Chain A
Amino acid sequence: MLSALTPWIDYTVNGLVIGNIYALLAVGLALIFGVADLINFAVGSVFSFGAYIGWVCAAYLKLPLPVTILVVILASALLGIVIERFGTRPLQGRSRIAALLVTIGIGLIIDQLLQIIFSPDPRALPSGLPDRRFTIAPGATIGTLDLLIAGVGSASGLALWLFLSRSRIGWAIRATAQDSEAARQVGIFTDRMNMLVFALASSLGGVGGLLIGMYYNNIDPSMSFNATLKGIVAAMVGGLGSLPGAIIGGLVLGLTESYGIGIFGASYRDLFAFVILLLVLVFRPQGMFQRAGRAPEPLTGTFIAWSRPLRLPRPVQAAILLVVLVLPLAGQPYVTQIGINALIYGLAAMSLTLVAGTVGQVSLGHAALLAIGGYASALFAANLGWPVALTIPLGGVVAAALGTVLIYPAFRMSGHYVSIASMAIAEIVALVILNWTGLTGGSMGLSGIPPLAIGPIDLSDARSTYYICLGLVIVMALLQARLLRSHLGRSLRAVRDDAIAAKSFGLSPSRYKMIAFLFGGFGAGLAGAISAHLFSYIDSNTFGLDLSILVLTIVILGGLGNIAGALLGAVLLVALPELFREVAQYRELVYGLALILLIRFRPQGLLGTA
């Protein structure tokens, strides 16, 4: 009887250990959310940073564990201070989604720097602790490292609680979180409190990274992404801004994952986190442990910097069109290839600029629409043998329909929540693709996708592909421009600018968001479908969060809502780095910097918002 329980004791121990790490991340997020009203997407990168500093200390310099922990705390705190001072502080008074996007950019830069310095390959991070295991029940044991993690987790929780509840600086932090203007009026320098909180939160995150690295005896730069997501899920489950909630949220998430893996297997691990996140977002946005009345302020306000869109003079327009038309005839195949890439990204960016710019739904999950379109078209063509010329638009239709249905629950959310919900939905789509092996090939991906063709005419050579993409871009751009000029376009912008006012004039925000997602989903689906036939192979990683972020950066670069801007952004961010080969390997660095600089200095984008 007891032996049947043994694995469950192990799952529980494991869940609590991982839960402790999630709690460290979530507490840091909650602290920052409290004082700065911001979800810090760089949290995972700080986590990786902590792990690598730990590796330098423990594995490279062979320092003893307490020294390692101390160095990690200090170095991570310093990184937090840098992030606050140069990343988020200059954005005070701007829409908080702007600061959120900047933390994404900072995360990209940290991750890429870690990759450059330490190489993308995994490294071992031994804890150096004696590997003793203590029996806690017949057959179930607990190791020294488990105890260390539990100890560090509870000790930092306790220390933080004492600090916040007993010290004057702790009170000042809480005062700043509750009302920063009033805090300044009692003589608190709130900027210093912000900085202190970023330092505290980052040291918690860095230590979390060190501990998890030791726990798995393995670190690599890609662990950032997962850490960010898990931290956010834990913090949202507990209720953003609530510290006890963050701790409980972390433990609940750790246990759920651990039991879930025990029942369903490891490949479903991340699915639990996202399903929990979506359920919380939809049904209890104030978190599971806070009363409904005390929900954090909805982070309203979209990221739009008012400006007048630039109009290119006619001769310039004509010249650009001419260059674009003759490019494959005159240029080398390599240039044509880059042109195809830029066009596909342009197609995706145009669809996102409608959703994120015109309607103000800053989606971090746009890649999922491309994935749906790509898989749909590939499966219709490969499995059913339908002609590619039919399956590509069909892919667009499927992406539009399925994407809109999936995002529908997020329509009543605003600000941050839309971004997080769309990201969660995209991750769930990727996980379903990964696990629905029968349909999608799972981790093997789909290969042998038929090439582009119309009937018997093969169009898979670079030049034809280029013209197909160009044609689609032109058609979609004209349609979208027509849409924006119409009465419908005005309604879409009205929903973005003031949903409540729009409602009081009888416009239904949900209906207009749906129209935007249907149209945008179709465009994104087309882009995904074309990519699938172009690559002839896709898997669940082809369309990931990095793609969503890149497309969003393109859109911001061009000017939110601006069609020509989306295309220009695609050329600048996709084509230019390819032309300069040496830049291409530092692509994430370029994207991150572009995102930060744009939001800080030219939030209206190059061609202006529309």
Chain B
Amino acid sequence: MNLLSIQSIRTFYGPVQVHHDVTLEVRPRQIVSLLGGNASGKSTLMKTVLGIVKPRQGRVMFDGADITGRPTAAIIRRGIASVPESRRLFQGLTVRENLLLGAYSRQDTQAIAEDLDRILTLFPRLSQRLRQRAGVLSGGEQQMVAMGRALMSRPKLICMDEPTMGLSPLFVDQVLSLIQTINAEGVAVLMVEQNASLALRIAHHAYVLQSGRIVLQATGAAMAADPRIQDAYLGRTETAA
């Protein structure tokens, strides 16, 4: 059974149609990458899953339930976590407060404390930063807090919007391997990435979105080998990515 299934979504910004019958699936424990150029509708699709944007037609099913048009907070409570674009940490709150707010929907205090410890072993750099304001951290550290914050809700699926954007190459590799670690623990990942070569390195499955339509889908490896993808998103015409 699919964990997340987006079924023939049509989304509009005012009179402008963003998605034309987009259908996409994420299975449990899968990393799914969503590729596409600027204004292809990638981020909007993510926002539709999270209930920030409501589709005019179509359904979003998660874990057997219809979550189409539900309030964002309610969707999060069903087991989806979000690592938003440009991270959007609560800058004035401490790292510890940010992480614990990730578990805001949970009541099991004991288990929350354990999860915090677990996340600090996953991101050891954050241990010394717990009492600092999130806003003073470096970009890479902020990305870790954002991922930790998402994990704190014990999600079944994490939506990541451009998780490597603006990071130094050193951190990019780290973030990718962290995504794989998280995934190995059983969390499915849906990620939007502009940098296709990075995304395809870890994705089990990938979709290409163009002007609001899915034009291609394949396993990560098949996609990476596809000449059309190499032309459009990898190799020579890097600028198009």
Q: Chain A: residues with CB nearer than 8 A to chain B?
A: 168, 171-172, 174-175, 178-179, 181-190
Q: In the complex, which residues of chain B have a beta carbon less than 8 angstroms from the beta carbon of A184?
A: 52, 71-73, 76
A-B contact list, 27 entries, CB within 8 Å: A168-B104, A171-B104, A172-B101, A174-B92, A174-B93, A178-B91, A179-B90, A181-B72, A181-B88, A182-B84, A182-B88, A184-B71, A184-B73, A185-B84, A185-B88, A186-B81, A186-B102, A186-B149, A186-B153, A187-B73, A187-B76, A187-B77, A187-B104, A187-B105, A187-B153, A188-B73, A189-B71
**Contact call A175/B71, Cβ cutoff below 8 A:** no
**Closest CB in chain A relative to B15 CB, distance in Å:** 14
Provide the bound-state CA to CA distance between A175 and B76, in Å. 16
Query: B90, A185: Cβ atoms under 8 Å?
Result: no
CB-based A-B contact count at 8 angstroms: 67
Mark interface residues in B47-77 (1 if CB within 8 Å of A CB, else 0).
0001010000000000000000001111011
Complex Cα–Cα for A182 and B91 (A): 11
Per the bound structure, the CA–CA distance linking A175 and B98 in Å amounts to: 8
Q: Cβ of A189 and Cβ of B73 under 8 Å apart? A: yes
- In Å, the complex CA distance between A354 and B84 comes to 43
A-chain residues with CB within 8 Å of residue B97 when the two chains form the complex: 171, 174
| B50: nearest chain-A partner, CB-CB | A185
Query: Which residues on B sit within 8 Å (CB–CB) of A181?
Result: 52, 72, 84, 88
Please, what's the 1-or-0 string for B36-53, where 1 marks a CB less than 8 Å from any CB in chain A?
000000000000001010
Interface: B100 (CB within 8 A)? yes
User: Smallest CB-CB separation from A294: which chain B residue?
Assistant: B92
- Which of A171, A178, A186 touches B76 (beta carbons < 8 Å)? A186
Q: Are A171 and B84 touching (Cβ within 8 A)?
A: no
Q: Chain B contact residues (Cβ within 8 angstroms of A): what range? A: 20 to 34
Residues of A within 8 A of B77 (CB): 187
B93: chain A residues at CB < 8 Å are 171, 174-175, 178
Q: Given A171-B100, A175-B101, A185-B72, output 18 extra A-B contacts at Cβ < 8 Å.
A: A171-B97, A172-B104, A174-B90, A178-B90, A179-B91, A181-B72, A181-B84, A181-B88, A183-B90, A184-B72, A185-B76, A185-B82, A185-B84, A186-B82, A186-B149, A187-B104, A187-B105, A189-B73
Residues of A within 8 A of B52 (CB): 181, 184
The chain A residue sitting closest to B152, CB to CB, is A186
Whether A186 pairs with B71 at a CB distance below 8 angstroms is no
A174–B82 Cα gap in the complex (Å)?
A: 19
CB distance from A178 to the nearest CB of B (A): 5
Asked if A178 and B92 make an inter-chain contact with CB atoms under 8 angstroms apart, the answer reads yes
- Bound CA span A189–B76, Å: 10
Give every chain B residue within 8 A of A188 (Cβ-Cβ).
Answer: 73, 101, 104
Query: Can you list, as one digit per residue, whether each of B111-155 has a CB less than 8 Å from chain A (1) or not (0)?
Result: 000000000000000000000000000000000000001000100
Which residue in chain A gives the minimum CB-CB distance to B96?
A171
**Residue of B77, B88, B100 with most partner-chain A CB within 10 A:** B88
Task: Please give, as numbers and ranges, the residues of chain B lying within 8 Å of A187 by CB-CB distance.
Answer: 73, 76-77, 104-105, 153
| Docked CA distance A181–B104 (Å) | 15
Cα of A174 to Cα of B104 in the assembled complex, Å:
13
A165 to chain B: closest residue by CB: B97
Give the Cβ gap from A577 to chain B, nearest Cβ, in Å.
39
Minimum CB–CB distance from A327 to chain B (whole Å) comes to: 45
Residues of A within 8 A of B72 (CB): 181, 184-185
Most chain-A Cβ atoms within 10 A of its Cβ — which of B74, B84, B90?
B90
**B90 interface neighbour in A168, A182, A189, Cβ under 8 Å:** A182
Docked pose: A201 CA to B97 CA in angstroms: 23
A178 to B100, CA, bound (A): 16
Residue contact A168 to B88, C-beta cutoff 8 Å? no
Q: How far is the CA of A360 from the CA of B92 in the complex (A)?
A: 33
Residue on A nearest B135 in the bound complex, by CB: A178
Cα of A318 to Cα of B52 in the assembled complex, Å: 51
Counting chain B CB atoms within 10 Å of each CB, the highest count among A171, A183, A184, A187 belongs to: A187
- Which of A171, A178, A186 gathers most chain B CB within 10 Å? A186
Q: Given the complex, which residues of B lie within 8 Å of A172, measured CB to CB?
A: 101, 104
**Interfacial chain A residues near B71, Cβ < 8 Å:** 184, 189
Contact flag A190-B90 (CB < 8 Å), given A168-B104, A181-B52: no
Given A171-B97, A181-B52, A186 and B92 touching (CB < 8 A)? no
